[in-house]
Amino acid sequence: MAATPTTWDAEDTAFWESEGNRIANRNLWVSIPNLLCGFSMWMYWGMVVKIMQRLHFANTEMFNFTFHNNGQPHDEAGYRALLFTLPAVAGLAGATLRIPNSFMIAICGGRNVKFMTTVLLIIPALITGWALQQPNAPFGLFIVLAAMSGVGGGAFASSMSNISFFFPKRMQGLALGLNAGLGNAGVSIMQFLLPWSFTFGMFGSFGGDPQSFVVDGNAQQMWIQNTAFVWVPVMTLFAIAAWFLMRNLPQHNCGSTPGAIGKYLWLETIGFIGSAAGIAMLIYVKLPVPELVQTFLVLIVTVAVTMAGMKFMTPRAIQGPLNKQFTIFSNKHNWVMTWLYVMTFGSFIGYANAFPKLIDDIFVTPTNGLDTRHYIWIGAAVGAFIRPVGGWLADKFGGARVTQWDTWIMVFSTILAGYIVSLAGKSGKPEQYFIPFLVTFVVLFATTGIGNGSTFQMIPIIFSKEQAGPVLGWTSAIAAYGAYLIPTIFASQIKAGTPEYALYGFAVYYASCLIVNWWFYARKNAEIKC
């Protein structure tokens, strides 16, 4: 276990060159694979439901859920919409857990938080692997497991906050871009590897029996449980690395290790309470309002319950440091940057969560035989790996300027994607529009990645060192609700037969971000030029 340094001042050139650079980079490169695993576990529900749907349509006795349908099996449209619930729940929980994670580092310590996060994720991985082998496993169990995997999504806020403390301002664009971009790459790595992982019994008798089914008269086997089990040994290794190689920092009020872990678990519990409130409302409460309105009301209730829990349910030892960080909410730029970061990261994580199943629902028919497995990972990979480029461009040309250029492309790409989807919906051969849609969406993913890097580079410039960490965490927390909003909105519009409307609506929101960014940061006489 690495000792906590006695002092830390990344802006001191002599300290940075003699000691700080080495320690900061070691923490960065241990943080990245842990964050990668967290993202993989958080986002793998988009892949899991894709496979569950395939198995069910091949054999209706498999995963034949009657949840929320008066004990009766769902029809095809209802089943497709139901399965979107799991990535939406994971998205909602992960985003909500980012709220307490935004403030954890100064209270619990970076090393302690990263270690505990990875350890906690091993639990849902093990249980999910077991549940996927049970043909009659209740849908409610999968809801709980999807919510538990949200720990991996919540980790992003604490990870970014932690890394921001280690590096000087002049290097934060690249450092944060690497942490976030390579961490986000967990989505694409997961989407690339999981279709391979379930094709054979990689764990032998310990991994359980395969699922057998028939497609077009051909008997096939699949080890769907591997989608969860494969992460267990990997996360165990990275948790050990985090414990022995990462460091807490002296300016953080984490105290003893057992006390810090206790505070971490309490803050995570508050996040789960807020998540449970939102999930219950999402599934069981039907208000006399349009479905889209209820979608946003769920988000508001979830955030409100979580913030109330943090305000009134935290022990006195946590309350002081927490209230000190809550000063960010009186700074209008916190809310402006939240609006902008929802556009970039919210879009990236929402599209990544929905994309594997979305393309099947729009372009795959029982007769065309289109196999999308080899394409689903491309968009998220481009968005993740280009993020450091966004940070680098922002360091070179200014974050606000790069964000402005990037947002223009987002607006046009989303409109074009919506138009292609509308053409596919009217065609008897939707598969002919798949490649144009894929290319357009890859461009859209690229813009989300560049925008992620450029907006995060703006935050350390706009805010003081004390506020930058909590703001980084808070903005990433709210933006992460894209992982809930986008699958939920797509599910609603697919059920209505108009998925293109979702994309047109996103384009309108992106246009509003153009105006906001220009007014506050990009115009000639902007309040803060960055």
Question: Which residues have CB under 8 Å from 236's CB, separation 6+?
Answer: 122
pLDDT category at 207 given cuts 50, 70, 90 is: confident
pLDDT for 216 = 65
Indicate whether 231 pLDDT > 80.
yes
* Greater model confidence, 140 or 72: 140
pLDDT(422) > 90: yes
pLDDT of res. 315: 73
Q: Mean pLDDT for the chain?
A: 86
Per-residue pLDDT for 115 more than 90?
yes
Contact (Cβ atoms closer than 8 angstroms) between residue 332 and residue 463: no
DSSP for residue 521: I
What is the pLDDT at residue 268?
A: 94
Q: How much is the pLDDT for 295?
A: 84
What is the share, in percent, of the chain residues with pLDDT greater than 70? 97
| Predicted TM-score of the model (pTM) | 0.80
Please report the pLDDT score of residue 501 as a whole number: 93
Q: 189: how many CB neighbours lie within 10 A of its CB? A: 19
Question: How deeply is 1 buried, as exposed, middle or buried, from its count of CB atoms within 10 A (0-12, 13-18, 19+)?
Answer: exposed
Of the pLDDT bands very low, low, confident and very high (cuts 50, 70, 90), residue 233 is very high
Residue 315 phi/psi, 5° resolution?
Answer: -60, 160
- Of all residues in the chain, what percent carry a pLDDT higher than 90? 36
CB 522 within 8 A of CB 404: yes
Q: How many CA atoms lie within 13 A of 12 on its CB side?
A: 8
Higher pLDDT, 420 or 476: 420
- pLDDT reported for residue 509: 95
Decide: 66 and 72 in contact? Cβ < 8 Å.
Answer: yes
3-class secondary structure for 128-147?
HHHHCCCCCCCHHHHHHHHH
Rounded-to-integer distance, Cα 74 and Cα 397, Å: 53
Which two three-digit tokens encode residue 215? 């497609």
CB 58 within 8 A of CB 213: yes
- Distance (Å, rounded) from C-alpha 181 to C-alpha 177? 5
pLDDT for the residue 46 = 80
Give yes or no for a contact between 514 and 521, defined as CB atoms under 8 angstroms apart.
Answer: no
The string of pLDDT tens digits covering residues 481-518 is 887 888 888 878 877 888 899 999 999 999 999 999 99
Residue of 328 and 127 predicted with greater confidence: 127
What the chain holds in terms of domains, given with CATH numbers, is 20-522 (1.20.1250.20)
What would the pLDDT profile of 118-139 be if each residue is shown by its tens digit?
999 999 999 999 999 987 889 9
Structure tokens at 3: 């000792």
pLDDT attached to residue 48: 87
Residue 3 has pLDDT above 70, yes or no: no
Which residues are CB-neighbours of 373 under 8 A, at least 6 positions away?
195
19: left (phi over 0), alpha (psi -120 to 50) or beta: alpha
Give the Cα separation of 316 and 294 in Å (integer): 35
Question: How far lies 33's CA from each of 2, 23, 30, 234, 240, in Å?
Answer: 18, 17, 6, 9, 12
The string of pLDDT tens digits covering residues 134-160 is 878 899 999 999 999 999 988 888 888
Secondary structure of the chain: what % helix, strand, coil (to 5)?
Answer: 75, 0, 20
